[in-house]
Amino acid sequence: MSELYLIAHKVSGEPAFDVATRIECPLCHGWTVSNAKSKDLICHECDSLGYWWIIHTSGHRAYPYWNESMDWYLSELCNVPPMPEGLPDHYLHSASPAETRSRLEALLAKLPPAPSTPFKRRF
C-alpha cells in the first residue's frame, strides 16, 4: 500500500479533509523535479512537483493546500482492531438483477401512457 496523507482541499467551494495518496505524474514522470535547474523543463500538469494527489477512496484527483503524512497518526493514535468478517460495505450492492428488474417494472407501470399522436418537431 502506498503512503497515505491527510489533506485539506477545496470541495464544492468549501474546505474539506480527505485521505489521499501521491502518484507519479503521468506526463513528466518526475523528470522535471530531478532537472529543476533548467527553467525550460516545467511540467504544467503537476506544477513540476513530479506527482499528483489522488483521493484514496474515490480515485479523484485533488489539489490540496495542506497535507500531512498519516504514518504517525496510524501508528501512535489508532489501535484499530482487524475488520470483522461480514461487515457491510460502504457502497452497498445488494440488489440482485431480479430485484432491480421488478423495481424497474413497477416504476414503468406508474408512468403516464405515451401520446397516441406523433409529436411534431420544429426545425
Calculate Rg over the CA atoms of the chain.
Answer: 24
Query: Is the pLDDT assigned to residue 44 strictly greater than 70?
Result: yes
Report which DSSP code applies to 64: -
Q: What is the Cα–Cα distance from 6 to 66, expressed in whole angstroms?
A: 8
Report which DSSP code applies to 83: P
Tell me the pTM. 0.54
> Could you tell me if 9 and 58 are in contact, meaning their C-beta atoms sit under 8 angstroms apart?
no
Query: So where are the chain's domains?
Result: 4-77
Query: Is the pLDDT assigned to residue 8 strictly greater than 90?
Result: yes
Q: What is the pLDDT of residues 47-72, one digit of tens each?
A: 778 788 999 888 888 999 999 888 86
Q: What are the start-end ranges of the E strands in the chain?
A: 4-11, 14-24, 51-55, 61-62, 66-69
Half-sphere exposure of 118 (CA within 13 A, CB side): 3
